Amino acid sequence: FSKRGFIVRSFGTGTHVKLPGPAPDKPNVYDFKTTYDQMYNDLLRKDKELYTQNGILHMLDRNKRIKPRPERFQNCKDVFDLILTCEERVYDQVVEDLNSREQETCQPVHVINVDIQDNHEEATLGAFLICELCQCIQHTEDMENEIDELLQEFEEKSGRTFLHTVCFY
């Protein structure tokens, strides 16, 4: 997204950072204060081969070059034009948080969810889809009036269902 000229931030919405572990019911759980470097070294110590093979070490290495640690959305007070989520549960948490904040400027923010399975292949395909969506939104004359039609076109084209709502700051 950054390479395509978009200003992007990435957040978690849970109470902790959860990364895949040795089994689906055994994730690695970290506090949001834990740096990517600390997570990387912890997983390296636990099972270098497993976390290299599943791509987690690569992801953490990339992330630590972008920012020191994960950020929690609910702790961020910055204003956004568009918030994209990739899981309905996260979408619900974002909308709930935005609706619980005191409205100060009444500036709208569009929150859109595209369900993407949490694996490398789906994430790659989803990233291209979301990037194309963002480019189309960027080129609309009047986002407020065109976004519903645009999302409908993307649903038909991709075979995915999008959730969309507008919240206000």
For the stretch 102-139, pLDDT in tens is 999 999 999 999 999 977 789 889 999 999 999 999 99
Res 22 pLDDT > 80: yes
Res 55 pLDDT > 80: yes
Res 1 pLDDT > 90: no
Percent of the chain whose predicted confidence (pLDDT) is above 90: 93
| pLDDT number for residue 2 | 83
Res 21 pLDDT > 90: yes
Res 151 pLDDT > 80: yes
Stated pTM of the model: 0.91
- Neighbour count for residue 36 (Cβ, 10 Å): 21
CA 12 – CA 93 distance, rounded (Å): 10
Rounded to an integer, the average pLDDT of 3-9 is 90
What is the rounded average pLDDT for all residues in the chain? 95
CA 139 – CA 167 distance, rounded (Å): 22
CA 20 – CA 38 distance, rounded (Å): 16
Rounded to an integer, the average pLDDT of 156-167 is 96
Beta-bridged to residue 109, according to DSSP, are 167
Domains with residue ranges and CATH for the chain: 1-72 (no CATH), 79-168 (3.40.50.2300)
CA 127 – CA 11 distance, rounded (Å): 16
| pLDDT number for residue 136 | 96
Exposure string for 123-136, b = 16+ CB within 10 A, e = fewer: eeebeebbeebbee
